[in-house]
Amino acid sequence: MVENGRIRPGDIIVGTDSYTCTYGALGVFSAGIGSTEMLGVLVTGKIWMRVPESIRIIMRGELPEKGMAKECGIYRGICLKYGDNINTDIISPPIYMELPID
């Protein structure tokens, strides 16, 4: 999909494998779904999704010298209570520009 240029930032992708969610790294909304639901998507070309409540977590400053995306995830976890069903929106371009995607 990526190598053939079939997805672009802003696209919506659903798939049945565990790696479907990794398209988010490319600016794509992606979600894993079950095989029965995928059949419905292939037949109708439609899917119904509920968007959960969201909050914004803003991270400012700089990562430590060997800081990684994992630290950003841990910080996000600290900001949320365990079990919250919230779609977080983390915004901090300066920090994210420093993160490697490999």
Please spell the DSSP secondary structure of 36-87, one letter per residue: HHHHHHHHHS----PPPPEEEEE--S---TT--HHHHHHHHHHHS-TT---E
For residue 96, what pLDDT is reported? 64
- Per-residue pLDDT tens, the chain, 102 aa: give them: 778 888 888 898 999 988 888 888 888 888 899 999 999 999 999 999 887 777 777 777 777 777 777 777 777 777 776 556 566 665 556 666 666 666
- Any idea where the domains of the chain sit in the sequence? 1-49, 54-98
Answer yes or no: are the C-beta atoms of 28 and 7 closer than 8 Å: yes
For residue 21, what pLDDT is reported? 82
